[in-house]
Amino acid sequence: MELLDAVKKRYSCRAYQDKPVDETTLNKILDVARLAPSAKNFQDWRFVVVTDKQTRAELSIAAANQAFVAQAPVVIACCSTINHWMRCGQPTGSIDVAIAMEHIALAAVSLGLATCWIGSFFPDEVRKILHIPTHIHVVELLTLGWPADKQPEMKRLPLDAIVCREKWAF
Ligand SMILES: Cc1cc2nc3c(=O)[nH]c(=O)nc-3n(C[C@H](O)[C@H](O)[C@H](O)COP(=O)(O)O)c2cc1C
């Protein structure tokens, strides 16, 4: 699939088929995370891939009871390990992880799967469930699986509402 098609077909999937993701497909998807750019090439992304049903159920509760988190055959806890702020004032870790996550999301679409970013979760609870040390940042969760729903209409601002030229004009 062309990259632009994958970008257009990606949506937040909140209903998954009761079908596991085979290891070959899963590894193919995860491997593209490695290719993401990162600040100083820190590659400050670590992924805890969860397929165990009971653990997914616990993560769903930690994700403010979002039931589809338990339904997805794979839940990935996306973490960063380094406390480093760029000169611009932004932290490197969450940005690095976010880029790698979107690589995963687009690779998933290209192979017929779907994902949903999960930011509504309690990190301390996720740490406890997955034995993640306290100094590690759990940046986001990502659900992954075969979609059981259809892509809804994309609601986005028009280009001229988000882009201006030469000087700030919003
Ligand atoms: C950082 C981030 C956190 C998000 N957290 C959640 C979440 O906790 N639960 C959820 O159902 N969707 C979550 N989403 C999905 C957004 O609601 C979704 O991307 C947005 O509404 C646009 O829809 P689309 O992804 O289908 O294009 C999150 C997305 C991002 C990027």
The reply to whether 167 falls in a domain is no
Which domain, by its residues, includes 36?
3-162
pTM of the predicted protein model = 0.98
Question: Using CA atoms, how far apart are residues 37 and 45, in angstroms rounded to an integer?
Answer: 11
Convert the pLDDT of each residue in 74-116 to its tens digit: 999 999 999 999 999 999 999 999 999 999 999 999 999 999 9
Exposed, middle or buried: residue 82 (CB in 10 Å: 0-12, 13-18, 19+)?
middle
The reply to whether 105 falls in a domain is yes
Q: What is the Å distance from ligand 1's center to 154 Cα? A: 12
> Is the pLDDT score of 1 beyond 90?
no
Tell whether ligand 1 has an atom less than 6 A from the beta carbon of residue 151. Answer: no
The reply to whether 116 falls in a domain is yes
pLDDT of residue 159: 98
For the chain, the domain total comes to: 1
Instruction: Give the residue among 163, 164, 132, 162 at the shortest CA–CA distance from 49.
Output: 132
